[in-house]
Structure 1
Amino acid sequence: MKKYIAIALIAAGTAAFAHSGVKDPDVMNRMMGMSELAKQMKAIGSMAKGQTTFDPEALNAALGKISEEAGYIPSLFENKALDPKSEALPVIWDNFDTFTARATDLEEISGGLVGTIQTSTDLGPAMQQIGKACSACHADFRAK
């Protein structure tokens, strides 16, 4: 679980720096969407690590936002737009069906978790599910 929390925190921390100098509006929109996902993961991760108080309402809002943002991912990548600042790999457009399926997995997993987590103890397994969905996509479609 710590691995998935760390990934989310690193992504959130580097998002602002990564956006500077991006010229393509499609790439900027994608990066903003991914930054929103990272922001929500950071909120959940801070609860999981005990840095913030477990708040079921905030947790469910974050899960819902992750699901919503994941639903937008395929449309954000419809145009094959590349930018030197982008971490998106061109293979996305070669394997767009797989890419889209992974976004759908994240959407369904996070949406399915809304309302199911009653205590902070339940956060670990939830973070693992979401983290695996994120990692599955990043492993093939994002520059390391």
Structure 2
Amino acid sequence: MKPLKRILLVDDDTVTNMMHRRVIERSGRVRAIDVATDGQEALDILHADLAAGRPLPELIFLDINMPGMGGFEFLEHYAKLQINSDAQLIIVMLSTSLLEADHRRAEADPNVHCFCDKPLRLEKLLELVEEFQKRDDGHRSVA
């Protein structure tokens, strides 16, 4: 199974990003990891990728509560981006929120693949990478 080219971590907590980076690196299934500390920085990364014609991250781990632009605000702006329908991208809400309303809101958003509790565990990452690979392979076989 070939590795993902890139993952984007969107979380304001430095320690959490460091822990998640270690899990991702240990998996051996991802070539590059970008980090944004709020939703606006994540949007800036995506805008820069789109403007330069670079591939978007294949997987985004998105926290809900961040200063500045939080996860749900990011999703509102993300929905307005002009992203090629060929882009295979999975957004995962990764949060410590216990609020049922947050879970429901994330699950109701068509751009959110799933809601996972922090911290990111290796098993969950491998499951998501495998799922991405299957979606990507299926997408290519249709073309």
Of Structure 1 and Structure 2, which has the larger fraction of its residues in helix? 1
More strand per residue: 1 or 2?
A: 2
Q: TM-score when scaled to structure 1?
A: 0.30
| TM-score, normalised relative to structure 2 | 0.30
Q: Structure with the greater relative contact order (CA < 8 A, sep ≥ 6): 1 or 2?
A: 1
